[in-house]
């Protein structure tokens, strides 16, 4: 925002210059009262001054208003809508297998790290129902993933906040499918962390 005082200073100076130009045009026209040529000349000068003044005002307004608008847009970026998150969590609990998989994908893309979302996703890790993932995301193979695999992928997208719950499922779940998906997710998170550390080094 440092540019704003400079812009305002330029604006004030330009107004002074435009005011002087208009006054000079008026003085010139007053030297020949009733002269049509002088009247036309004054009108042209006045229109030039007016156009320049409007352009300066437009630029100043853009410099002052747009940075604030961008900052508001940035502050809201990456924050999933709370109502939408609540809706998809409800779908995880009561939807069809296809709906649950799609809701899991959405929550993963939004990185919804709230405890309720993580717990609901972890609760699906043992679901072996196959779904059609191509209905809500690009697919690169003919493999039909399960609801549990989609939930595991979503937890990987969420990242570190999902680790405690994944460890809990791995240690305590009686379902082999749930433990398998939890182990895969933990391995994927470890690989992501290792790759990130290597890149930072």
What are the pLDDT digits (tens) for 124-138?
Answer: 999 999 999 999 999
Give the residue from 57, 76, 95 where a domain finishes. Answer: 76
* pLDDT above 80: residue 106: yes
Say yes or no: 43 and 107 in one domain.
Answer: no
The C-alpha atoms of residue 195 and residue 129 are separated, in whole angstroms, by 32
Say yes or no: 93 and 52 in one domain.
Answer: no
Say yes or no: 92 and 176 in one domain.
Answer: yes
Q: How many domains in the chain?
A: 2
- pTM attached to this predicted model: 0.59
Higher pLDDT, 180 or 12: 180
Say yes or no: 71 and 89 in one domain.
Answer: no
Say yes or no: 172 and 104 in one domain.
Answer: yes
Say yes or no: 56 and 98 in one domain.
Answer: no
Say yes or no: 89 and 172 in one domain.
Answer: yes
């Amino acid at each position: 925002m440092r540019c704003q005082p400079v812009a305002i200073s330029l604006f004030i100076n330009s107004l002074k210059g435009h005011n002087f130009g208009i006054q000079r045009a008026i003085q010139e026209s007053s030297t020949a009262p009733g002269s049509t040529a002088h009247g036309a000349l004054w009108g042209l000068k006045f229109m030039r001054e007016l156009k320049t003044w409007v352009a300066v005002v437009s630029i100043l307004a853009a410099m002052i208003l747009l940075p604030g608008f961008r900052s508001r847009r940035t502050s809201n970026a990456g924050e999933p809508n709370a109502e939408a998150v609540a809706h998809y969590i409800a779908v995880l609990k009561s939807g069809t297998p296809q709906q649950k998989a799609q809701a899991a994908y959405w929550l993963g893309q939004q990185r919804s790290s709230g405890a309720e979302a993580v717990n609901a996703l972890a609760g699906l890790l043992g679901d072996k129902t196959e779904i059609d993932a191509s209905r809500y995301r690009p697919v690169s193979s003919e493999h039909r993933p399960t609801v549990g695999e989609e939930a595991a992928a979503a937890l990987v997208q969420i990242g570190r906040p999902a680790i405690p719950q994944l460890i809990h499922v791995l240690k305590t779940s009686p379902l082999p499918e749930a433990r398998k998906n939890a182990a895969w997710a933990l391995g994927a998170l470890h690989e992501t962390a290792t790759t990130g550390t290597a890149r930072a080094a």
